[in-house]
Amino acid sequence: MKIIKMKTKIFSVLAAGLMVLSSCSDDENPYVQTTGEIKNYTFLDARAYSDWVYFSFEQGEIVEVADFQNDLNWDIAFHRGDIRLNGGKSGEGLGEAVNTYTTDWNAVSAAPSSGYVKDEIGIITIAFIGTGVIEEDQPFSQTMSTWLTVDTTTPPPVYTLNNWIYVLKTADGKFVKIQIYDNKNETGNAGYVSFKYQYNTDGGSDF
């Protein structure tokens, strides 16, 4: 009888402990990290050679920007195949990026701890005319802009999508996993950017 009572007491203690643990919500447990929702944005119109299109991951949409180097309301911008982030030479934010060199979305489960590169000044095409192209020095992300390879040696241009997974930091330093998977719209016209992304709103590094 004594052994039975001891077993009953131990079971009661364990059951009480499990009830306490199950009653704690994620909000009450500081060690639980939530990951952002995976979203798709399709056919962002980046055809214009003269303009950049600015996007906010927090808002999940295109935003109007008048002075990109002094505006913290945008995170990433598109110009044909070029990309800039809100950091480095492109802005006052904390934006920078690393290429994971994998095309497997599920293989990137956490943000790398190092290897991030900020935007620098480089050459981009700002006009396409009959006699050739007009180029200009502008800030952009040389890391993110490797998503697309364009061969213009013979017309028409040949586009190669690399489908790499990048991890970038937003203007306020939060992590985003992103894969840019298309540069054409539903009718095959080039200059439309489609991408899949996961934005960690809580500032965590896991995906």
Rounded mean pLDDT, 152-160: 86
Regarding predicted confidence, which is higher, 35 or 55?
Answer: 55
Q: Which of 194, 163, 198 shows the shortest CA–CA distance to 178? A: 198
Task: For residue range 122-153, list pLDDT tens digits in order.
Answer: 999 999 887 788 999 999 999 999 999 998 78
Phi, psi of 6 (to 5 degrees): -65, -45
What pLDDT shows up at residue 7?
42
**Would you place residue 35 in the very low, low, confident or very high pLDDT band (cuts 50, 70, 90)?**
confident
Cis peptide before 112 (omega within 30 of 0): no
Distance, CA of 85 to CA of 93 (rounded, Å): 8
Distance, CA of 204 to CA of 67 (rounded, Å): 29
What pLDDT shows up at residue 33?
53
CB neighbourhood size of 65 (10 A): 19
Phi-psi domain of 177 (left: phi exceeds 0; alpha: psi -120 through 50; beta: other): beta
